[in-house]
A and B are shown apart, each in its own frame.
Chain A
Amino acid sequence: MSEIRKSDIELIESYRKGCLSDFELLVSRYQEQIYNYVFSLVRDRQLTDDIFQDTFVKIIRVIKAGIYKDEGKFIQFAMRIAHNLVIDHFRKESRIPVVESSSEDYNYVDNAPITDPSVEQGMIVDQIHSDLRKMVDMLPVEQREVLRMRIYDDLSFKEIADITNVSINTALGRMRYALINLRKMAECNNVCLTY
């Protein structure tokens, strides 16, 4: 017998009333998306752990205080908290992060394209990914954030603007600059971004 999937708001309400297992269900539903969002910005595993924990500590407090408002998706609410914690961290550090791309964590087998390119094409694709990852890492964190939210998380610019607490035009502008910068970097380094 299949169990009916509870909505986010049902899990939140149930947890507020004391059901811890529903909170665990809520965490498991979004843990990877939130964790990887934070990691994509701070690029440090230990720091990601800290910010991820703090994000859920804040979420717990908001839900338990009964002040959570269902104004959309829970994930947007969670990402907004994570975003603010990341910004707080960078403010404390007073620096723009300089990130080194690590190829150690990249598992090509698990993330191979769905298509089955030839070995030669596979190597080209691998090289393009490697180059592109380095260039994405070199983008200012605000631009990298919008790029990820739009392309990977598939959020609308309105949702991105809400989460990052900027106007839609600012979010659009960051996306434009991200693309301009990526193309400039590709041009300056003679990187080909097509197969």
Chain B
Amino acid sequence: MMENATLNYNEPLLDEILTAQIHDVFASETQKPAKSVLDFIFGYAAAYESVENGLFGRVEFSKN
């Protein structure tokens, strides 16, 4: 019932040409995140994993 209700709406109409043009506008801006940005994320994930596994807790620092 709810699903039917959500499907009964009138989508604003766009002609095909304008749709394609708008699509091209967004497609033309395709960029990739820099490696440094991804490195930060993967580094964070790795650090989170280490903390979760208690690796930092088992580190013993030398007094000398």
Asked whether A193 is an interface residue with its Cβ less than 8 Å from the other chain, the reply is yes
Is the contact region of chain B dominated by helix, strand, or loop, or is it mixed?
helix
Question: On chain B, which size bracket covers the interface?
Answer: 35 or more
Asked whether A27 is an interface residue with its Cβ less than 8 Å from the other chain, the reply is yes
B33 touches A31 (CB 8 A): yes
A128 touches B21 (CB 8 A): yes
Within residues 3 to 51 of chain B, which ones have a CB less than 8 A from any CB in chain A? 6-7, 9-12, 14, 17-19, 21-34, 37-38, 40-42, 44-46, 48-49
Interface residues of A (CB under 8 A from B): 15, 18, 20, 23-24, 27, 31-32, 35-36, 39-40, 45, 49, 52-53, 56-57, 60-61, 64, 105-108, 111, 113, 128-129, 132-133, 136, 147-148, 151-152, 157-158, 168-169, 172, 175-176, 179, 193-195
Interface residues of B (CB under 8 A from A): 6-7, 9-12, 14, 17-19, 21-34, 37-38, 40-42, 44-46, 48-49, 52-53
